[in-house]
């Protein structure tokens, strides 16, 4: 039976960084990814990664402490402050490390790592490599895993966690190449499976960024935290919702409505286009809903005044995308944009070292919720989250396994393997008629309407009812397609099951949170309510639906005040 | 809506002796991409169809395939531009596993051979290595490669010599040779000039023609040849 000391699930930034950290501690590491690592969604991050390096002349007195404060303020005070501060303190070292491994960051005149302004930040502290920062860091980390000769199971899909006596001892996987279902034993499992924005149709995320990654531990009894907090990126390309980096605005891009007004003056008079994402996204959506958009669907992101040279140097990827997908050139034409579902602040409930209530099971990156981002994440903090907490979780897991016997717990693995094989068999012998993709498409359409930028009791309670109805229909789906090798239907049906259960937790958490905070904006409770809701939502899986409870927010340094930008 | 025809080369290892074409027809809205067409077929007509796809934004490199005679990414190809008739085959020079999914291992094996990671010239400083903007700009033509293997599929040398390192791996080697922080240029150059390296390239320009990121592996290989010969 296959076995590793530490098994990392996911080949994006968090997963790769965790694997490198564990390998550096001489643990025997394996990576399981449903893709190849360089295909991971981290590679789509464009604008940059935050660290108070003070390389930009306009940021000479920037410090990790100020970065920490901006992060906590941006979170609408729902972040656990010790965790946010840990991340911002670790940021410079984390970035120098990647640079030492060869990451091609853009440079200042002195040859240092270049930094640009981003939303919600007091200084230009977003380190970037043109507008392909995620791609460059992902490539760099992938290169390091090759250097460390880390065993990687490419295109193997994890479908379940295995527990033995209340500790995690491995996973069940589906090898896409052979179609075999197999167990891999491990003394520690780290999930770096990324976000879940594909519950929503209007998303910037990759096709595979479904909620399956967080659903697997959720089904195994690990709670999810703060799932109702979803970030809508203000500028996604219309109509494909491909990301148009915040760097567009960081470099001086402006947004205008159909009257030619620079409308952000109404919503964030000081910060304008560089307010935090929740506020800017609501501004854009308000313009569209109140009839000041174009074709009732979008506003313009205008870069034309930046000039050809700056666009070619700083935003070449944006130009490639708009040319490829809309046939327009941002040097000459404004870009049609609308908000797109972008990031899940919530995720697997974990501590600062990635450990979860399930011993031996760790989480890092977007699938995890420490919480660093609270109710709203700042642009440039997600890549940072991935590398800082990936490293932390990888090291913690390597320490945890040190004295454990290096052998698979065969009985528990075989038991779960049998159960999962039977489950897949049942899927293939199902006798229903529902098309799972129709159900998913309806979920995708419903989520932005009922758990989108503007929410209220009526929307969310009817949304919850709809999800319950989807789940009933899902029980009657048609049989899964036949075929052993690369049977994507088999996997997609599970991904959709994950979407339904996690969307239910999201909706239930949002319905119970009768306040507005960060990305969770309720038109029936427009104010933040610290007295009743300065707390994390905890959702625990039950067959009847999510059980909602709460946990404390760690407030150490900064007392909550109203956010103004 | 426009009536669209997809002819797809299909192969199921469970039952087929050899690949064969299958045709699907459906109505496609204006602006639909080839990838969206594949997804439509998969979700609504035939869920046994196998193809790789991920970012749908031309940055992850998953969906490279042979589209109406050219290698490209399915996600960045508009059906309209193909006149409503789409013919899809998998990447060439790699064994077909199922339908449009090929075994990419030979491609990754070549990639790994070029030591695709920085081998630093000097001990790491406390902060970042200083690198002038001019030196950084030298990397621009090479570092945007998304490893989609379109160049590999298009390269006729790969057809006859599977040991040839190929355009993507060679461009990767140059990416480090051109990096002011790397200290292994000599060894890297010696390796790419060895039996299965740059001198196998016949300068046919296919890789330059098909690269979906409009990079120029042909130029990279030419530059490596010059460096290998003249330093």
Those of residues 427-446 in A touching chain B at CB distance below 8 A are 435, 437, 441
DSSP state of A452: S
Cis amide leading into A239 (omega within 30): yes
CATH of the domain at A241: 3.90.700.10
Is there a catalytic annotation at residue A233? yes
Q: Would you call A111 an interface residue with chain B, using a CB distance cutoff of 8 Å? A: yes
B114 and B224 both lie in a single domain: yes
Per DSSP, the three-state class of A94 is helix
Residues B122 and B219 in one domain: yes
Question: What is the pLDDT confidence band of residue A68, given thresholds at 50, 70 and 90?
Answer: very high
Looking at the structure, tell me whether residues B180 and B133 fall in a common domain: yes
Is the Cα torsion angle B35, B38, B44, B50 positive or negative in sign?
negative
3-state class of A477 per DSSP?
A: strand
Whole-angstrom Cα distance, residue A394 to residue A94? Answer: 14
Domain edge (last residue) among B102, B130, B156? B102
Same domain, A427 and A329: no
Position A166 in a domain = no
d(CA A477, CA A495): 14
CA distance A326 to chain B (A): 9
Q: Is the same domain home to B137 and B89?
A: no
CB pair distance less than 8 Å for B47 and A481: yes
**pLDDT digit string (tens) for B49-108?**
999 999 999 999 999 999 999 999 999 999 999 998 999 999 999 999 999 999 999 999
Q: Are B54 and B123 members of one domain?
A: no
Convert the pLDDT of each residue in A324-377 to its tens digit. 899 999 999 999 999 999 999 999 999 999 999 999 999 999 999 999 999 999
Is there a single domain that holds both residue B146 and residue B84? no
Q: What is the span of the domain harbouring residue A269? A: 234-339
* Domain assignment present for A377: no
pLDDT for A504-559, tens place per residue?
Answer: 999 999 999 999 999 999 999 999 999 999 999 999 999 999 999 999 999 999 99
Q: Please, are residues B60 and B54 in contact by the beta-carbon 8 Å criterion?
A: yes
B81 and B144 belong to one structural domain? no
State which of B69, B102, B135 marks the end of a domain: B102
Are B96 and B126 part of one and the same domain?
no
Is A251 inside any structural domain?
Answer: yes
Nearest residue, CB atoms, A482 vs list B48, B54, B181: B48
Kindly determine whether residue A102 and residue B176, on different chains, have CB atoms separated by under 8 Å.
yes
The pTM of this model reads: 0.97
Residue that terminates a domain, selected from A324, A339, A354: A339
Query: Structural domain of residue B162, as residue ranges?
Result: 105-230
Q: Which CATH number fits the domain that encloses residue B164?
A: 1.10.1060.10
Count of structural domains within chain B? 2
Domain match, B123 and B225 both:
yes
Complex ipTM, two decimals?
A: 0.98
Tell whether A330 and A422 lie within a shared domain: no
Which residues is A232 bridged to in the sheet? A341
What is the C-alpha to C-alpha distance for residues A462 and A459, in angstroms, rounded to an integer? 5
Q: Which residues pair with A164 in a beta bridge?
A: A167
Inter-chain touch A102–B181, beta carbons under 8 Å: yes
A201 pLDDT more than 90: yes
Would you say the C-alpha torsion A110, A115, A116, A121 has a positive or negative sign? negative
The string over B54-89, giving b where at least 16 C-beta atoms fall within 10 Å of a residue's C-beta and e elsewhere, is bbbbbbbbbbbbbbbeebbbbbbbebeebeeebbbb
Q: Map A374-410 to HEC letters.
A: CCCCCCCCHHHHHHHHHHHHHHHHHHHHCCCCCCCCH
Last residue of a domain, one of B52, B82, B102: B102
Residues B9 and B36 in one domain: yes
Instruction: Determine whether A319 is an active site residue.
Output: no
User: Which one of A44, A100, A487 has the shortest CB-CB distance to B57?
Assistant: A44
Q: What is the pLDDT of residues B141-180, one digit of tens each?
A: 999 999 999 999 999 999 999 999 999 999 999 999 999 9
A312, A339, A366: which is the final residue of a domain? Answer: A339
β-bridge mates for residue A361, sequence order: A189
The C-alpha atoms of residue A427 and residue A560 are separated, in whole angstroms, by 49
Residues 6+ apart with CB under 8 A from A550: A535, A536, A537, A538
Is the domain of B14 the same as that of B121?
Answer: no
Here the tokens at position A535 are 């707390």
Number of folded domains in chain A? 2
Which residue, among B70, B13, B1, has the nearest Cα to B40 in the 3D structure?
B1
Residue B1 has pLDDT above 90, yes or no: no
| Angle (nearest 5°) at CA A367 between A361 and A373 | 115
Mean pLDDT of chain A: 97
- Residue A144 forms contact with B (CB below 8 Å): yes
Identify the domain boundary among A292, A312, A339.
A339
pLDDT, one tens digit per residue, over A225-257 is: 999 999 999 999 999 999 999 999 999 999 999
């Amino acid at each position: 039976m296959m076995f590793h000391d530490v098994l990392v699930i996911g080949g994006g930034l968090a997963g790769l960084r965790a694997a490198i950290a564990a390998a550096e501690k001489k643990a025997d590491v394996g990576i399981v990814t449903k893709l190849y690592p360089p295909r991971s969604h981290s590679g789509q991050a464009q604008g940059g990664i935050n660290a108070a390096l003070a390389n930009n002349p306009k940021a000479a007195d920037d410090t990790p402490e100020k970065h920490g404060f901006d992060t906590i303020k941006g979170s609408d005070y729902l972040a656990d402050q010790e965790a946010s501060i840990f991340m911002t303190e670790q940021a410079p070292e984390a970035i120098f490390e990647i640079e030492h491994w060869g990451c091609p960051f853009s440079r200042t005149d002195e040859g240092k790592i270049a930094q640009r302004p981003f939303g919600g930040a007091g200084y230009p502290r977003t380190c970037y490599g043109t507008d392909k920062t995620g791609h460059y860091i992902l490539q760099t980390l992938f290169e390091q895993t090759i250097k460390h000769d880390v065993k990687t199971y490419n295109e193997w899909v994890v479908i379940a966690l295995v527990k033995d006596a209340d500790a995690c001892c491995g996973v069940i996987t589906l090898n896409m190449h052979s179609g075999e279902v197999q167990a891999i034993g491990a003394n520690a499992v780290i999930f770096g499976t990324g976000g879940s924005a594909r519950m929503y149709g209007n998303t910037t995320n990759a096709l595979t960024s479904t909620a399956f990654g967080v659903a697997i531990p959720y089904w195994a009894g690990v709670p999810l935290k703060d799932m109702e907090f979803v970030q809508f990126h203000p500028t996604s390309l219309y109509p494909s919702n491909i990301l148009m980096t915040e760097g567009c605005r960081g470099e001086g891009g402006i947004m205008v409505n159909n009257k030619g007004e620079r409308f952000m003056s109404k919503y964030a008079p000081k910060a304008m286009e560089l307010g935090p994402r929740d506020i800017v996204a609501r501004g854009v959506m308000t313009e569209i809903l109140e009839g000041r958009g174009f074709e009732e669907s979008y506003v313009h992101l205008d870069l034309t005044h930046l000039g050809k040279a700056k666009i070619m140097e700083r935003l070449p990827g944006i130009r490639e995308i708009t040319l490829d997908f809309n046939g327009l050139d941002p040097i000459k034409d404004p870009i049609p944009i609308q908000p797109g579902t972008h990031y899940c602040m919530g995720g697997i409930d974990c501590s600062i070292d990635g450990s979860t209530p399930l011993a031996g099971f760790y989480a890092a990156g977007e699938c995890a919720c420490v919480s660093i981002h609270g109710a709203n994440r700042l642009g440039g903090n997600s890549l940072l989250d991935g590398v800082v907490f990936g490293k932390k979780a990888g090291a913690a897991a390597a320490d945890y396994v040190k004295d454990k016997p290096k052998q698979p717990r065969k009985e528990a693995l075989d038991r779960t393997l049998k159960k999962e094989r039977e489950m897949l068999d049942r899927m293939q012998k199902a006798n229903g008629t529902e098309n799972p993709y129709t159900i998913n498409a309806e979920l995708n359409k419903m989520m932005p309407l009922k758990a989108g930028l503007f929410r209220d009791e009526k929307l969310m309670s009817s949304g919850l009812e709809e999800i319950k109805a989807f789940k009933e229909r899902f029980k009657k789906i048609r049989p899964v397609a036949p075929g052993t090798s690369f049977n994507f239907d088999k996997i997609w049906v599970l991904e959709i099951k994950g979407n339904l259960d996690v969307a239910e937790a999201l909706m239930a958490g949002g319905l119970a949170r009768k306040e507005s905070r960060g990305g969770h904006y309720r038109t029936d409770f427009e104010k933040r309510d610290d007295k009743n809701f300065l707390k994390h939502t905890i959702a625990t899986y039950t067959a009847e639906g999510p059980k909602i409870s709460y946990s404390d927010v760690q407030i150490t340094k900064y007392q909550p005040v109203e956010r103004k930008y | 809506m426009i009536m669209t025809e997809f002819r797809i080369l299909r192969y199921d290892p469970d039952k087929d002796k050899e690949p064969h074409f299958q045709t699907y027809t459906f109505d496609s809205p204006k602006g639909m991409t080839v990838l969206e067409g594949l997804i439509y077929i998969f979700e609504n007509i035939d869920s046994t169809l196998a193809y790789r796809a991920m970012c749908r934004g031309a940055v992850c490199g998953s969906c490279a395939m042979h589209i109406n005679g050219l290698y490209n990414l399915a996600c960045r190809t508009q059906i309209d531009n193909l006149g409503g008739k789409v013919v899809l085959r998998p990447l060439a020079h790699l064994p077909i596993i199922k339908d449009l999914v090929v075994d990419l291992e030979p491609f990754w094996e070549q990639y790994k051979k070029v030591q695709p990671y920085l081998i630093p010239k000097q001990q790491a400083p406390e902060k970042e290595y200083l690198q002038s903007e001019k030196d950084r700009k030298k990397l621009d033509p090479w570092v945007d490669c998304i490893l989609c293997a379109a160049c590999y599929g298009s390269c006729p040398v790969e057809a006859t010599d599977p040991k040839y390192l190929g355009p993507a791996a060679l461009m990767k080697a140059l990416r480090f040779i051109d990096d002011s922080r790397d200290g292994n240029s000599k060894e890297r150059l010696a390796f790419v000039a060895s039996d299965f390296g740059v001198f196998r390239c016949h300068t046919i320009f296919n890789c330059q023609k098909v690269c979906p990121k409009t990079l120029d592996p042909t130029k990279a290989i030419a530059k490596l040849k010059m460096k290998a010969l003249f330093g």
